[in-house]
């Protein structure tokens, strides 16, 4: 078996299994199994793979064909140019969330204290700390299992001055912050059954579920932030495409000024932020 034959095998299996990005996933898994990159695969389609590699590839293809997320097979996801460990206990970092980090970075100054509420894999907080100087971060999450992954990510990225706290939202948070960031669960409970199998059956339900109207966590985080933000501190929230108005109103009602809604690259409302 060579690279090309393996790739075609994977692609065919994925088309049959109705995997959304059959070609891409077949290639990424081949890169993963053979420890190679895209350029090498394209430049050397005739290069033979070992029996062990072929066996591993077939195995990975079988898993992905059952709609197990690609990142649960490879164990990693790139986010903000950094590689994060992921597993079934955390939401896989999304490209949309990079916009939250980029927007927050514009307002982040050296030495600030940042709180990441519902930190999950820690991707938002670790990225902010990685790309800034002398900032200090606290990541809070209800899930102990998620925090274990966040901690592993902080160690892998050698993130300094970071603490992870288990608790129900602000329950165990102390002190005050210059910036609070959050990508909380925001999908309406009745929408969850309509999501892709990869998401609804394999990603943590608690990381998705924004309860009845999807806004449960925004209410709690926005009102709670008033107690934990310094004067002039800023709150940055990722939102669903149809939540811009509701979430910005909630922020204004809670005393936030200069509330802005930013669109993502697909043209959908994605980030709301404002100053207290």
Chain positions contacting ligand GLN, by CB under 6 A: 91, 93, 97, 118-121, 123-124, 183-185, 207
Q: Residue 166: CB partners within 8 Å, gap ≥ 6?
A: 140, 141, 142, 143, 144, 147, 172
> Shortest Cβ distance from residue 8 to ligand GLN (Å)?
34
Q: Which is nearer to ligand GLN, 34 or 92 (CB)?
A: 92
Instruction: Name the phi and psi angles at 230, rounded to 5.
Output: -70, 165
Chain centroid offset of residue 173 CA = 22
Q: Which is nearer to ligand GLN, 27 or 182 (CB)?
A: 182
> Shortest Cβ distance from residue 126 to ligand GLN (Å)?
10
Q: Which is nearer to ligand GLN, 77 or 248 (CB)?
A: 77
Question: 78 pairs with which residues across the strands?
Answer: 83
Question: What is the C-alpha separation between 192 and 173, in angstroms, rounded?
Answer: 30
> Shortest Cβ distance from residue 184 to ligand GLN (Å)?
6
Query: Given phi > 0 = left and psi -120 to 50 = alpha, else beta, which region is 174?
Result: beta
> Shortest Cβ distance from residue 120 to ligand GLN (Å)?
3
Q: Which is nearer to ligand GLN, 221 or 250 (CB)?
A: 221
Instruction: Give Cα separations from 88 to 34, 79, 84, 85, 185 (angstroms).
Output: 24, 17, 13, 11, 15
Tokens of 258: 């200069």
Q: Which is nearer to ligand GLN, 93 or 224 (CB)?
A: 93
> Shortest Cβ distance from residue 61 to ligand GLN (Å)?
27
Q: What is the DSSP letter of 68?
A: -
**Closest residue (Cβ) to ligand GLN?**
120
Q: Which is nearer to ligand GLN, 120 or 244 (CB)?
A: 120
Give the helix, strand, coil percentages of the chain, each rounded to 5: 45, 20, 35
Give the alpha-carbon dihedral of 222, 228, 231, 234, to 10 degrees: -50
> Shortest Cβ distance from residue 157 to ligand GLN (Å)?
15
């Amino acid at each position: 078996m060579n690279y090309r034959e393996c790739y075609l095998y994977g692609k065919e299996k994925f088309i049959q299994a109705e995997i959304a990005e059959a070609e891409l996933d077949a290639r990424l898994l081949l890169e993963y199994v053979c420890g190679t990159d895209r350029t090498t695969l394209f430049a050397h389609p005739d290069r033979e793979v070992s029996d062990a590699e072929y066996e591993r590839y077939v195995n990975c293809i079988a898993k992905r064909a059952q709609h197990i997320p690609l990142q649960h097979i490879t164990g990693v996801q790139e986010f903000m140019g950094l590689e994060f460990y992921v597993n079934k206990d955390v939401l896989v970092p999304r490209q949309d969330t990079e916009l939250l980090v980029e927007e927050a970075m514009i307002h982040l100054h050296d030495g600030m204290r940042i709180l990441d509420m519902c930190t999950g894999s820690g991707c938002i907080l670790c990225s902010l700390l990685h790309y800034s100087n002398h900032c200090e971060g606290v990541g809070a999450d209800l899930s102990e299992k998620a925090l274990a992954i966040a901690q592993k990510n902080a160690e892998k990225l050698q993130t300094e001055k970071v603490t992870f706290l288990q608790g129900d939202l602000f329950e165990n948070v102390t002190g005050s912050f210059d910036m609070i960031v959050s990508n909380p669960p925001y999908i309406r409970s009745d929408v969850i059954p309509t999501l892709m199998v990869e998401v609804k059956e394999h990603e943590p339900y608690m990381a998705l579920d924004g309860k009845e109207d999807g806004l449960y966590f925004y209410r709690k985080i926005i009102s709670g932030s008033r107690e934990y933000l310094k004067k002039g501190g800023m709150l940055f929230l990722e939102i669903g495409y149809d939540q811009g108005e509701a979430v910005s109103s909630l922020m204004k009602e809670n005393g936030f000024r200069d509330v802005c809604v930013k669109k993502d690259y697909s043209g959908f409302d994605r980030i709301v932020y404002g100053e207290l």
